[in-house]
Amino acid sequence: MFHVMSQIGGLLAPSNGIAMMGLLGLIVMVATPWRRVGLALAGGGICGILAAGLLPVGNWAIFPLEQRFPAFVDDGRPITGIIVLSGALEVTRSAARREFALNGAAERIFAFMDLARRYPGARLVYSGGNSKIGSRLPPEAWTATEYLKTLGLPGDRLTIETRSHNTWENARETRNLVRPSPGERWLLVTSAWHMPRAMGSFEQVGFRVIPYPVDFQTNGTRDLEQPFTVVSQGLERLDLAAREWLGLIGYRLSGRTGALFPGPGTEPKPSEAKLAIAN
């Protein structure tokens, strides 16, 4: 049920809401006597699209997410394993075109390959099933790793997790699969804007991981003042940030994270972690 609700929630993108307001205004203008109301709604929709698309609203929303966890610094201690979360592969297009089709989160794949080379003794885990409802395509983890093996990823070190449909299930199923022991050090690779929800989920199931954020969308604080030059870019950035903030709220309300905005020092109490492991 939660998976279905998360898919439906994707329809609540700000760009959809603003566009629907403009469309509603046009309908009211044409089909009802309340022309002034319709004109106000239509004008609000047009102004909203321009404001959200050109002003750095999307950057204001996504910047706190990206800054929540610092970049990984290698202190020389051994790394037990490296986990990468799905989301970088266009599974449908890969199947249709029979090629390795990546999307804007491709840095997850590149970082995974680089870390596999830098830590030759570490276990490698690709976590991700099929996130689309009703899809009969193979799990992303299987498709991606088959391609990655052709690029030199060592198959004997690789474990794939194919049962998960969302971030919470990534954490739970990966924990059940690798069964980490106390003292082990596991790196978690995902997009920086997605790291708070991912870390909160892993902490809540009792799997301590080290964040390795990649795929930053902003260049830093200067982007908080820099307007977009193309409306679609600003709207896409805002939609991405809004979806992640809604995900954080949903995960907190459903008990999938121990804090509304997980970050360093917000891990759950031991009793909460034990309860999550039992679920």
Q: What are the pLDDT digits (tens) for 79-109? A: 999 999 999 999 989 989 988 999 999 999 9
Burial class (CB in 10 A: 0-12, 13-18, 19+), 24: middle
N- to C-terminal Cα separation, the chain = 16
Judge contact between 269 and 49, C-beta under 8 A. no
95: left (phi over 0), alpha (psi -120 to 50) or beta: alpha
Q: How many CB atoms lie within 10 A of CB 190?
A: 28
The predicted model scores a pTM of 0.90
Phi, psi (rounded to 5 degrees) for 242: -65, -40
The whole-number pLDDT of residue 277 equals 43
In which residue are the tokens 């439906």 written? 8
Classify 261 as helix, strand or coil.
Answer: coil
Rounded to whole angstroms, how far apart are CA atoms 110 and 108? 6
Judge contact between 200 and 259, C-beta under 8 A. yes
Which residue type sits at 103? N
| Bigger pLDDT: 136 vs 83 | 83
Judge contact between 108 and 213, C-beta under 8 A. no
Tens-digit pLDDT profile for residues 159-213: 999 999 999 999 999 999 999 999 999 999 999 999 999 999 999 999 999 999 9
Nearest of 228, 48, 8, 279 to residue 133 by alpha carbon: 8
Q: Are strands 123-127 and 186-191 parallel, antiparallel or unpaired?
A: unpaired
Detail the DSSP E strand segments found in the chain: 81-85, 123-127, 158-161, 186-191, 210-214
| Top mean-pLDDT range of 90-94, 140-144, 242-246, 269-273 | 242-246
The whole-number pLDDT of residue 9 equals 59
Tens-digit pLDDT profile for residues 7-23: 565 667 999 999 999 99
Classify 131 as helix, strand or coil.
Answer: coil
- How much is the mean pLDDT over the chain? 91
The rounded percent of the chain whose pLDDT value lies above 90 is: 83
